[in-house]
C-alpha cells in the first residue's frame, strides 16, 4: 500500500464512510485505502419504553444521524484542517429486525418496534411451524403476523415494511433496498437465489392474506442485494438530512444497507464457511457460518446470512452488558459521594480485571441481567436481579465475575444447540463490541463461556461502523470478480490479534455457574410475576 495524505484524500472526496445506528450509540467512521480509520463521530441515544413498546422516534433517528455526521466533520477539521465535502462511497447499517411499516404516502403507521420487544411469541411459534423454519420473535415477519393476529387496524394500510437500516437508506437515497444479511432478519432467504424465499412467501400469503386486507408480502418487502452491488446514490434531500450545514451534495454512491450482524462479520473477517464471530455489548450474538443446512428446526437459533449470502447460524441474546453497566454506574456514584471523581474508562479498567482473580464459579453468587425479555430462556419480560447465598464470599471480584458470566449464559444456551445438537465446529471465534474493550477480560470470559479460542481484530473496536465502511469499500473494488472473503483477507491481513485459549479452571467455573443460572431461572420467573 502506497503512502497517502489523509488531508488530500479527504479533501478530494476519496475516503469511504461507514455509519451504524446501534442500540446505545450512532457512530460514523471515515477510512482510507488501507482501511485505517481516519476520523469518527458519534451520538449517544437510548431506546424508550412507551406503552410497553421499546422504541426510538424517527425524529431521534435523524437528530442522531445528523449529530453523528457533524461530529465526524468536526473530527476531520480538528485533525486535518480540511472540510469534509464529499466521500467516494457510503454505507449505513443499524440494529437488525424490528418492525417499521409505512403507508403509500410514506407515513409511519405505528411506532418503531425494535428487536428488544418480545411480544410476538404466538406469531413466531405459528410461523416456525408453518414455514418449517425458525422465526424468532424479533424478526419483522413475526411482528407483522402478530399484528395480523391481533387485528391491528394499521395492517390494511401497509405499503412498505423495512428495517432501521433500510429506512435510513430509503430516506437518503429514495431506494427501497436492503443488504441480504439484514434482509435475512426480516424473512427467510433462499441462499441459492440470493433473495427472499418464494415458497415461504407463498405459504405466508396463504395464511395471512385472506381477510387481513394486507397486500401480498412480496409487494411490501424491500429488494434484496448482496454485498458489492450498487444501491443508488445520496439524493439532495438525503444530503440535507445527513449534513445540516448544507455543504454535502447529492450524487454520492451508496452500497446496500446492512444489519449489525453483517457488519460484525465484515469487521471480524468471519464470512467464510466454519468461521465464527461474536458481537457483545447491549445484546450479544454469536454467528457461525454453516457448511450445511441444519438437520432440525431449532427455535433458539436464527438462520441468517453473511453479507454475500452464505447461511449463518446465530445465537442471539437480548441482554448482555446493560445490567453490568448499570452496576458500574452505581459504583461510580458511590465514589463521587465519597469525593472521588472517576471516568467511565478508569472505572472499567480498574474493576473488571478483579474478576480474573475471583472464585472460578463466582463463589455462589448469581445474577440475571434481564433488562428486557430473553427468548433463549423463555422470558417475554425481564427483571434485573442479583442474588447470593448467605455464606457466599461477597467480594468485589466475585461480584464483577458474576455479572460478566451472567451476561453470556443465555448466549451459551443457544450455542449449545449449534455445537451439540447440530455438531457444528469452529476453530476460533473473533470478538468485537464494548464487552472486549477492557484488556484481556472480555476475551478470557468469552473463551470460558464458548470453550473456544477468542481473538480480537485490532480495528474491530471501531465496531459496526468500521465493518460498514469495509462493505462500502468492497463495493468500490476494481476487480469485480473478487469475493468478499478474499477481499477481507487482504484488507485485514495482519490485524488479527493472538487468540486467547480457554483456561480449564475458567471453563469449569463457568460450567458450574451456568448450571446454577439455569436452576435459578424460577427466581427470575417469580420476579417477573411479582415486580410490576
Q: Per residue in 397-415, pLDDT tens? A: 999 999 999 999 999 999 9
Q: What pLDDT does residue 2 have? A: 63
Radius of gyration for the alpha carbons in the chain, expressed in angstroms and rounded: 23
Using DSSP's 3-state secondary structure scheme, residue 368 falls into strand
Average confidence (pLDDT) over 347-363 = 97
Element (H, E) at 436: none
DSSP character string of 282-306: SSEEEEEE-SS--SS--TT-EEEE-
What's the rounded Cα separation, in Å, for the pair 263 and 282?
A: 16
Residue 264 reports pLDDT greater than 90? no
Question: Is the model's pLDDT at 373 over the cut of 80?
Answer: yes
Rounded to whole angstroms, the Cα distance separating 345 from 495 reads 24
Q: Give the pLDDT score at 70.
A: 97
Q: What SS3 state is found at 415?
A: helix
Q: Supply φ then ψ for residue 225, to 5 degrees.
A: -130, 130
CATH superfamily of domain region 97-162+187-220: ATPase, nucleotide binding domain (3.30.420.40)
For residue range 293-303, list pLDDT tens digits in order: 899 999 888 89
Average pLDDT over residues 311-323: 92
Residue 423: all three cell numbers together: 455438531
Domain with CATH 3.30.420.40 in the chain: 97-162+187-220, 322-456+502-530
What's the CA gap between 217 and 186, in Å, rounded? 11
The answer to whether 289 and 311 have CB atoms below 8 angstroms apart is: yes
Bridging pattern class, strands 429-432 and 276-280: parallel
User: What mean pLDDT do residues 481-492 have?
Assistant: 93
Q: What is the DSSP secondary-structure string of 220-240?
A: HSPEEE-TTS---B--HHHHH
Q: What is the pLDDT of residue 458?
A: 67
Contact between 14 and 6 under an 8 Å Cβ cutoff? The reply is: no
Residue with the larger pLDDT of the pair 439 and 381: 381
d(CA 203, CA 196): 13
Lateral strand order in the sheet of 276-280: 302-305, 311-317, 284-289, 276-280, 429-432, 454-456
| Residue 459 pLDDT | 56
Closest among 280, 375, 379 to 325, alpha carbons compared: 280
Burial class (CB in 10 A: 0-12, 13-18, 19+), 78: exposed
- At 117 the pLDDT is 86
pLDDT value for 1: 52
pLDDT at residue number 388? 95
Give yes or no for residue 8 having a pLDDT over 90: yes
Band of pLDDT at residue 424, cut at 50, 70 and 90: confident
Q: Please, which pLDDT band fits residue 520 given cuts at 50, 70 and 90? A: very high
pLDDT tens for each residue of 148-167 = 999 999 999 999 999 999 99
In angstroms, the CA 172 to CA 174 distance is: 6
Q: How far apart are the first and last CA of the chain?
A: 59
- DSSP label at residue 449: H
Grid cell, residue 108, equals 409511519
User: Quick one: cell of 257?
Assistant: 444497507
Q: Is residue 495 predicted with pLDDT exceeding 80? A: no
Q: Is the pLDDT of residue 206 over 60?
A: yes
| CATH, domain 322-456+502-530, list 3.40.1400.10, 3.40.430.10, 3.40.50.970, 3.30.420.40 | 3.30.420.40
pTM of the model: 0.82
Instruction: Give the model confidence (pLDDT) of 86-138 as tens digits.
Output: 999 999 999 999 999 999 999 999 999 998 888 899 999 999 999 999 999 99
Residue 485 has pLDDT above 90, yes or no: yes
Distance, in Å, from the CA atom of 167 to the CA atom of 48, rounded to the nearest integer, reads 19
Mean of the per-residue pLDDT values for the chain?
Answer: 93
CA diameter of the chain: 66
Core vs surface per residue 295-323: b (16+ CB within 10 A) or e = eeebbbbbbbbbbbbbbbbbbbbbbbbbb
- Tally: H helices and E strands in the chain: 18, 21
Mean per-residue pLDDT, 345-352: 94
Amino acid at each position: 500500500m502506497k503512502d497517502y495524505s489523509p488531508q488530500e484524500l479527504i479533501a478530494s472526496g476519496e475516503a469511504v464512510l461507514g455509519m451504524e445506528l446501534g442500540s446505545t450509540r450512532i457512530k460514523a467512521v471515515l477510512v482510507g485505502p488501507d482501511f485505517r480509520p481516519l476520523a469518527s463521530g458519534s451520538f449517544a441515544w437510548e431506546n424508550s419504553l412507551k406503552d410497553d413498546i421499546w422504541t426510538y422516534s424517527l425524529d431521534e433517528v435523524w437528530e442522531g444521524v445528523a449529530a453523528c455526521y457533524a461530529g465526524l466533520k468536526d473530527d476531520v477539521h480538528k485533525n486535518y484542517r480540511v472540510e469534509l465535502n464529499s466521500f467516494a462511497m457510503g454505507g449505513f447499517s443499524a440494529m437488525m429486525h424490528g418492525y417499521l411499516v409505512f403507508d403509500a404516502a410514506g407515513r409511519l403507521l405505528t411506532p418503531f418496534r425494535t428487536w428488544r420487544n418480545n411480544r410476538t411469541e404466538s406469531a413466531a411459534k405459528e410461523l416456525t411451524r408453518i414455514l418449517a423454519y425458525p422465526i424468532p420473535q424479533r424478526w419483522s415477519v413475526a411482528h407483522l403476523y402478530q399484528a395480523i393476529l391481533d387485528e391491528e387496524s394499521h395492517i390494511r394500510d401497509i405499503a412498505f415494511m423495512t428495517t432501521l437500516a433500510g429506512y435510513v437508506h430509503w430516506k437518503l437515497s429514495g431506494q427501497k433496498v436492503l443488504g441480504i444479511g439484514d434482509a435475512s432478519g426480516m424473512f427467510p432467504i433462499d441462499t441459492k437465489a440470493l433473495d427472499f424465499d418464494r415458497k415461504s412467501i407463498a405459504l405466508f400469503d396463504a395464511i395471512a392474506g385472506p381477510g387481513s386486507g394486507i397486500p401480498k408480502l412480496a409487494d411490501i418487502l424491500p429488494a434484496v442485494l448482496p454485498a458489492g452491488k450498487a444501491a443508488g446514490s445520496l439524493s439532495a434531500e438525503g444530503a440535507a438530512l445527513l449534513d445540516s450545514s448544507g455543504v454535502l451534495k447529492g450524487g454520492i454512491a451508496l452500497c446496500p444497507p446492512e444489519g449489525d450482524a453483517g457488519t460484525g462479520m465484515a469487521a471480524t473477517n468471519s464470512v467464510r464457511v466454519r468461521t465464527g464471530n461474536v458481537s457483545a455489548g447491549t445484546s450479544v450474538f454469536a454467528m457461525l457460518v454453516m457448511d450445511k443446512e441444519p438437520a432440525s428446526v431449532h427455535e433458539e437459533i436464527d438462520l441468517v446470512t453473511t453479507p454475500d449470502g452464505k447461511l449463518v447460524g446465530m445465537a442471539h441474546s437480548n441482554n448482555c452488558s446493560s445490567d453490568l453497566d448499570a452496576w458500574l454506574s452505581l459504583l461510580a456514584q458511590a465514589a463521587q459521594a465519597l469525593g472521588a471523581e472517576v471516568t467511565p474508562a478508569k472505572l472499567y479498567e480498574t474493576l473488571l480485571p478483579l474478576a480474573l482473580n475471583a472464585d472460578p464459579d463466582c463463589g455462589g453468587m448469581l445474577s440475571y441481567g434481564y433488562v428486557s425479555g430473553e427468548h433463549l430462556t423463555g422470558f417475554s419480560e425481564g427483571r434485573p436481579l442479583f442474588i447470593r447465598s448467605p455464606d457466599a464470599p461477597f467480594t468485589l471480584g466475585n461480584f464483577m465475575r458474576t455479572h460478566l458470566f451472567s451476561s453470556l449464559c443465555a448466549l451459551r444456551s443457544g450455542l449449545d444447540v449449534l455445537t451439540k445438537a447440530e455438531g457444528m465446529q469452529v476453530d476460533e471465534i473473533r470478538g468485537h463490541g464494548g464487552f472486549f474493550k477492557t484488556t484481556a477480560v472480555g476475551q478470557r470470559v468469552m473463551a470460558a463461556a464458548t470453550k473456544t479460542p477468542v481473538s480480537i481484530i485490532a480495528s474491530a473496536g471501531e465496531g459496526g461502523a468500521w465493518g460498514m465502511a469495509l462493505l462500502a469499500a468492497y463495493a468500490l473494488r476494481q476487480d469485480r470478480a473478487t469475493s468478499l472473503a478474499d477481499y477481507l483477507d487482504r484488507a485485514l491481513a495482519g490485524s488479527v490479534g493472538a487468540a486467547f485459549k480457554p483456561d480449564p479452571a475458567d471453563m469449569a467455573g463457568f460450567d458450574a455457574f451456568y448450571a446454577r443460572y439455569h436452576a435459578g431461572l424460577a427466581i427470575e420467573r417469580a420476579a417477573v410475576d411479582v415486580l410490576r
